[in-house]
Structure 1
Amino acid sequence: MLELADVDGFYGRSRALQSLTMRVGNGDFFSVLGRNGVGKTTLLRTILGLMTRTTGSIRLDGEELIAKPTHERSRAGVGYVPQGRGILPNFTVRENLMIGTFASKASDGRIAEWVLDLFPILKEFMHRRGGNLSGGQQQQLAIARALLSEPKIMLLDEPTEGIQPNIVEQIEDVLIDLNRKRGLTIILVEQNLRFARRASQHFAILNRGSVAVGGPIDKLSDDLIHQHLVV
Structure 2
Amino acid sequence: MLELSDVDGFYGRSRALQSVSLSVREGEFLTVLGRNGVGKTTLLRTILGLMSRCAGSIRLDGAEINHLPTHMRARAGLGYVPQGRGILPSFTVRENLLIGTFAAEKPARTIPDHIFDLFPILKEFLGRRGGNLSGGQQQQLAIARALLSEPKILLLDEPTEGIQPNIVEQIEDVLIDLNRKHGLAVILVEQNIKFARRASHRFAILNRGSVALSDDIGALSDELIQSHLVV
Provide TM-score, normalisation by structure 2: 0.99
Deviations 1:63-95 (A, max 9, x none): 111110000000000000000000100000000
Q: Is the 8 A contact 2:9 2:46 kept in 1?
A: yes
Structure 2 runs not aligned, ≥5 long: none
Alignment of 1:27-42 (within 5 A): 27-42=27-42
Alignment of 1:61-140 (within 5 A): 61-140=61-140
| Amino acid in structure 2 at the alignment position of 1:177 | D
Structure 1 distance, partners of 2:143, 2:211, is 27
The share of aligned pairs that are identical, in percent, is 77
Q: C-alpha displacement at 1:108, in angstroms?
A: 3.2
| Amino acid in structure 2 at the alignment position of 1:114 | H
| Amino acid in structure 2 at the alignment position of 1:136 | G
Deviations 1:188-228 (A, max 9, x none): 00000000000000000000111000110000111111110
**1:156 aligned residue:** 156
**2:5 aligned residue:** 5
Q: C-alpha displacement at 1:180, in angstroms?
A: 0.3
| Amino acid in structure 1 at the alignment position of 2:159 | P
Structure 1 distance, partners of 2:188, 2:182, is 17
Deviations 1:81-123 (A, max 9, x none): 0000001000000000000000000333321110121000000
CA RMSD of superposed structures (Å): 0.6
Structure 2 distance, partners of 1:129, 1:71, is 25
Structure 1 runs not aligned, ≥5 long: none
Structure 2 distance, partners of 1:86, 1:132, is 14
| Amino acid in structure 1 at the alignment position of 2:86 | G
Correspondence 1:194 to 2:197: no
Correspondence 1:216 to 2:216: yes
Provide TM-score, normalisation by structure 1: 0.99
Structure 2 distance, partners of 1:113, 1:51, is 35
Structure 2 distance, partners of 1:85, 1:29, is 20
**2:147 aligned residue:** 147
Q: Is the 8 A contact 2:24 2:30 kept in 1?
A: yes
